[in-house]
Amino acid sequence: MGNTNDRRVVITGLGLVTPLGIGIETNWNALIEGRSGIGPITKFDASGFATQFAGEVNDFKPEDFIPKKQLKNMDPFLQFVLAAAKMASEDSSIKIDNELSTRAGVIIGCGLGGIYTFEESHKILLNRGPRRISPFFVPMIIGNMAPGLVSIQQNAKGPNLSIQTACAAGTHAIGLAFHMIRDGLIDVAFTGGVEAAVSPICLAGFNAMRALSTKNDAPEKASRPFDKNRDGFVLAEGSGIMVLETSERALERGAKIYAEICGFGLSGDAYHMTAPAPDGEGAVRCMKMAIDDANITPQEVDYINAHGTSTDLNDKFETIAIKTVFGEHAYKLAVSSTKSMTGHLLGGAGGVEGVYTALTIHTGIIPPTINYEEPDPECDLDYVPNKARKADVKVALSNSFGFGGTNATIVLRKWDS
């Protein structure tokens, strides 16, 4: 059954902190120019690791967004999300007064929380003893502090939720926020994803799984989704946050509307801890559910912002899943992976890519999949190779799939009142 609720949900504000830069304009210019945000790791000495590069956030001045006295008690993931939320709020020109506050929710996805603080505090515990652990240690590491602090920042007293579904968390958060508004539980939401996991323990863990690219001689070319010579994903950090609200409210206040969210799908593989289900079976059900929820046909979809991690199994099975869902129309779709430029932000990926998908619809420009040099016979769709493309994108999907076999898809479309 498709949706029968007539409340429409639109995107009116966007905020980004990514390896491509701070803010919408910087990010979008880098994306459409096909620039990579991947480089050698500077946060710690990575010379002993199999992978020595990542998508780090550079040129970030947290004091531009957060009072300086609060910063010492905030893990980087909290700094990123607060900055992105503030930018989204300002972009939307939304004001959460006392009357609206209980109808404004915050739903944000995060995979690992304050892993950087956890790792640094463990060193303090071992070297200096338990009395030297900060009283802010626990609030600095728990994932739900992301929506918690954003709610304080924005005076949002409605539902306050943290979604921990690995690399699908940001998209699950957006989809859940969309449904809560559509179903009348709230009228406004701050939603998206965040992650700050470029740390020694995470890098070592993903290396141990052989999940990361090891192209240390050319980091900017390491993330190459759907390319035959891909050898793993690139670890990255950042946050993408959007403001959602009812179309009625947005129109009343004369807000700028980037796009409408009209569908959400989610599924589980029930197959393996880390590997996707064969032939992307879970992703198939997820995309079909989102399309049905949006009350559209597969043939109406113009573009997919793919999960596209640059790992062997993900790219192959996501391609198969797209062909299963869309049939012959799959070859008429544009499919691109912005992870080719940002790397993989884990729990933050869906938030950032949801923002990018909204901008694709809003600007009429599809960002490319860079580093696409040698086609893989098993990945034979139109991946918008290497150069951005002008296109009238009326309907787009954004896919996210995570460890544990958790899948999420949102459907966005051009706003038409």
pLDDT band at 3 (very low <50, low <70, confident <90, very high): low
Residues 6+ apart with CB under 8 A from 273: 403, 404
Residue 268 belongs to what domain range?
10-413
pLDDT band at 236 (very low <50, low <70, confident <90, very high): very high
Q: For 291-324, what is each residue's pLDDT tens digit?
A: 999 999 999 999 999 999 999 999 999 999 999 9
Average pLDDT, the chain: 97
Per-residue pLDDT at 196 exceeds 80: yes
Percent of the chain with pLDDT over 70: 99
- The residue count of the chain comes to 417
pLDDT band at 5 (very low <50, low <70, confident <90, very high): confident
1 within some domain? no
Q: For 197-215, what is each residue's pLDDT tens digit?
A: 999 999 999 999 999 999 9
Report the pLDDT value the prediction gives residue 1, as an integer from 0 to 100.
40
310 within some domain? yes
Distance of alpha carbon 83 from alpha carbon 412, whole angstroms? 24
Report the pLDDT value the prediction gives residue 6, as an integer from 0 to 100.
81
**Does residue 82 sit in helix, strand or coil?**
helix
3 within some domain? no
Percent of the chain with pLDDT over 90: 97
User: How many structural domains is the chain composed of?
Assistant: 1
Per-residue pLDDT at 235 exceeds 70: yes
- List C-alpha distances in Å: 270 to 165, 275, 278, 294, 403: 14, 11, 11, 25, 11
Report the pLDDT value the prediction gives residue 411, as an integer from 0 to 100.
98
Report the pLDDT value the prediction gives residue 4, as an integer from 0 to 100.
54
Per-residue pLDDT at 154 exceeds 60: yes
Q: Largest Cα–Cα distance in the chain?
A: 64
Overall average pLDDT of the 353-368 stretch: 98
Q: What is the 3-state secondary structure (H, E, C) of the chain?
A: CCCCCCCCEEEEEEEEEECCEECHHHHHHHHHHCCCCCEECCCCCCCCCCCCEEECCCCCCHHHCCCHHHHCCCCHHHHHHHHHHHHHHHHHCCCCCHHHHCCEEEEEEECCCCHHHHHHHHHHHHHHCHHHCCCCHHHHHCCCHHHHHHHHHHCCCCCEEEECCHHHHHHHHHHHHHHHHHCCCCCEEEEEEEECCCCHHHHHHHHHCCCECCCCCCHHHCCCCCECCCCCECEECEEEEEEEEEHHHHHHCCCCCCEEEEEEEEEECCCCCCCCCHHHHHHHHHHHHHHHHCCCCHHHCCEEECCCCCCHHHHHHHHHHHHHHHHHHHHCCEEECCHHHHCECHHHHHHHHHHHHHHHHHHCEECCECCCCCEECCECCCCCECCCEECCCCEEEEEEEECCCEEEEEEEECCCC
Pairing mode, if any, of strands 104-110 and 160-163? parallel
Domain with residue 297: its CATH number is 3.40.47.10
Overall average pLDDT of the 151-163 stretch: 98
343 within some domain? yes
Phi/psi for 159 (5° steps) reads: -50, 135
103 within some domain? yes
Overall average pLDDT of the 5-31 stretch: 96
Active-site residue list:
167, 307, 344
Per-residue pLDDT at 2 exceeds 90: no
Q: For 366-402, what is each residue's pLDDT tens digit?
A: 999 999 999 999 999 999 999 999 999 999 999 999 9
Overall average pLDDT of the 82-94 stretch: 98
135 within some domain? yes
Asked if residues 239 and 352 have their Cβ atoms less than 8 Å apart, the reply is yes
Per-residue pLDDT at 222 exceeds 80: yes
4 within some domain? no
